[in-house]
Structure 1
Amino acid sequence: MSDYSQLIQHADWQHSMETVPSFVSSWLNLSSSLTATLTQTFGEVHVSVLSESWITFLNDNERRFFPKKAARFWCREVMLKNQDTPLIFARTLMPDSLLAQHIELQQLGNRALGEWLFMRPDRIRQRLEWTQDQATGLYARRALMQIGQESMVVAELFLTPRIFTRTIK
C-alpha cells in the first residue's frame, strides 16, 4: 500500500471549506470530471493503474460511508499523469453490491473512472470532504457518489501545487 493511500485513509477530513484559499477550493469543489478538467487545463492525461483488488477491511474513516454491511470492496488506486508528471493519486472504494450491478467497473483498465461515472444519469454526489496533509501540504478531496441505490467513495490527492495555479471555470 502506498504512502498516498495511507494518507487518504488516515486523513482528518473536513466539511467546511471556509479556510481553504479560493484558488484551491475551486478545484476541490469541482462537480464535473476531474480528469476531463485536467485534460482541458494541462493537455493529455494518462491513467496508470497502481492496484485493483478486493479488500475486506476498511478503517472507520472509510467504513462510515457504507451503512450496508458489505463484506468486501473493490479498491482501485490510480495515478493521473500529464506526460510523466504525476498530478493526482486516486483511491476508489466500491462495495460488492455495486460491482454485482456494474461488472464493467472491474474492467476499466487505464480508462478514467470519470468516463463511466459522468455518463450516469443516476449519479449524485452526496457528500464532499477535504483535507490538507500537515506534513506535505498536499490537498485532497473525497466524495460519496450514489449510483442508483448503491454508493462508492472516490478520494483524490492533488500531488502538485501547479494544479492550483490554473484557473478553472
Structure 2
Amino acid sequence: MSITTAHYLLQAHWQTPSDLRLQPVQSSWLLETDSLTARLKSRCRHFRVQMLSEQYYPLPERLQAQLAGAESALLREVMLHCDAQVMIYAQSWLPVSTLAAIEPLARLGDQPLGEFIFRHPELQRGPIEVAVLDATALKLAAPLAEQAVWARRSVFWLAKHPLQVVEVFMPEVYQL
C-alpha cells in the first residue's frame, strides 16, 4: 500500500450506517463494536497480521481536526489473515502525540492494534462511518472478484489521545 491508498480512503464518501441499506451480514461486520481481531481469531484456526508499511507522514488536513489538531502521524497498514486468506486491510493513523503518551503503540510490529486498544482501560470510540469503495482503486495485493468493497472508519481515544482506524473488508470475511 502507499500514501496514495491512504489519500484514496480519505477522499471516500463516508456516511453514517443509518444512511445506507446494509445486508445483515455486512452490518454484523461493519457495525461490530468489539475487536475485529478477536472476532476473526474466534472464527479461524490461524490468524496472522501482515505488516505492509509503517511510515511517518504529515497529517492530511482532513484528519487534523478529527485527531485533535495533530500535525504528523505514523501511518500503519496491515492485512489481517484468517487461515491464509486476507480478510481485512487495516490502516491506522497514530498521531506522534498519541505515540509519545502511549509508547507501546509505537512498537506493535506485527501485533494486532485491536488487541492493544481493546484492553486499554480508558478506551472510547467515536461514531462508525462506512463507505463503499472501488476495489481496483485500492490496489490491493490480490485482485478481487468484487468491483466494490465495504469499509468503515472511526476515531478511538485512549486516555484522551486519538487515533483513527480504517478497515476494508474483503468479500470473503462475510463467509466466516
TM-score, length-normalised on structure 1?
0.87
Q: Which runs of 4+ in 1 moved over 3 A?
A: 2-7
CA distance in 2, matches of 1:6, 1:84: 28
In structure 2, the gaps of 5 or more residues are 136-146
Q: How many residues align?
A: 163
Which residue of structure 2 lines up, in the alignment, with residue 152 of structure 1?
163
Which residue of structure 1 lines up, in the alignment, with residue 78 of structure 2?
78
Which residues in structure 2 correspond to 1:25-104 (within 5 Å)?
Answer: 25-60=27-62, 62-68=63-69, 70-104=70-104
Contact 1:53 1:76 in 2 (8 A): yes
CA distance in 1, matches of 2:53, 2:157: 23
SS at match of 2:166: strand
CA distance in 1, matches of 2:4, 2:48: 21
The C-alpha deviation readout for 1:5-40, integer Å capped at 9, x for no partner, is 454232110113341111101111111110110111
CA distance in 1, matches of 2:6, 2:112: 18
Q: 2:22 aligns with which of 20, 23, 42?
A: 20
Q: CA deviation at 1:84?
A: 2.9
In structure 1, the gaps of 5 or more residues are none
- Over aligned residues, Cα RMSD in angstroms? 1.8
Q: Percent identical across equivalent pairs?
A: 28
The C-alpha deviation readout for 1:99-154, integer Å capped at 9, x for no partner, is 11112111111110011101111001112101111563100011111111111100
| 2:155 counterpart letter in structure 1 | L
